[in-house]
Amino acid sequence: MNAKSLVRALIVLTVGGSIASLSAAPPKEVPVTSIVDDGAGDLTIRSDAGGSYLNSKTLTSLIQPVGDWVLDAINPAKATRRIFVDFSQPVPGSGPNGSDPVGPPAGTYAFRFLAQCASYGNTLPSFTAGQVGTCPLRIAVEVGTRHYAIVMNPTAPIQGPFPETNPATVTCVYPSTGSAPCSQWRFTPSATYIAPDLSVKYRNVSRLLELDSRGNVIADHGDFYMSFSILISK
């Protein structure tokens, strides 16, 4: 094929939209396995002891096209999975009118995690081997007929910001080195404290909001310490 014929062929292919390699495919949802740790007694957010959370018709566990992670057992029909949440660590004086906060009883509840990494410029698919970043984290919890949101969002204006709260630390744990794309991420608190035994422990300050059925805030219950460890894997 001479040069003129090659140019003519390229023009025809381009107009017809047949050169797929020259246009990037739009991002897609990526199903992931989510593992919420439940073995450590000092974790206030734990699994329901039902094993890994797998994406299915009754549970959403995926990385969204924008690069955020969602684990949802509220919206899918017939969802049965739960998480255990313990509200026994209020931040003194952070409740209404300077009172000590009072949260729902500790229990196993329907839930929805959303790590809004894109709002911090940290889309999960863009993480490189061993990279560490931060993402605001929001956890919706259904307690009977009441709707709550646990918000860890110090700067982003998505149901916030609450400057005293702490974002989640996100670490690409596999691969830890090299140039392969990240396929496993771990979410942990970004804030620390010194335990009575002088060991360093991790926990975040979070804000507890109560919402109506449309997601509007109807009560601010103050701040609670929350600790967690969550692994997601492609």
- Across 44-68, b (16+ Cβ under 10 Å) vs e yields bbbbbeeeebebeeebbbbbbeebb
User: CB–CB of 53/35 below 8 Å?
Assistant: yes
For residue 156, the model assigns a pLDDT of 72
Cα–Cα dist 97/90, whole Å: 15
Place of tokens 């025809």: 12
User: CB–CB of 152/45 below 8 Å?
Assistant: no
User: CB–CB of 107/83 below 8 Å?
Assistant: no
pLDDT tens sequence for the chain (234 residues): 554 554 444 343 344 444 444 456 777 999 999 999 987 668 999 999 999 999 999 999 999 999 999 999 999 999 999 999 999 999 999 999 999 999 999 999 999 999 999 999 999 999 999 999 999 999 999 999 999 999 999 997 766 789 999 999 999 999 999 999 999 999 999 999 988 888 888 999 999 999 999 999 999 999 999 999 999 999
What residue segments make up the domains of the chain, in order of their start? 25-233
What's this model's pTM, rounded to 2 decimal places? 0.87
Within its chain, how far is the Cα of 36 from the centroid?
A: 11
The answer for 97, left when phi > 0, alpha when psi is -120 to 50, beta otherwise, is left
Sign of torsion, CA 88 89 93 94?
negative
Is residue 153 classed as helix, strand or coil in its secondary structure?
coil
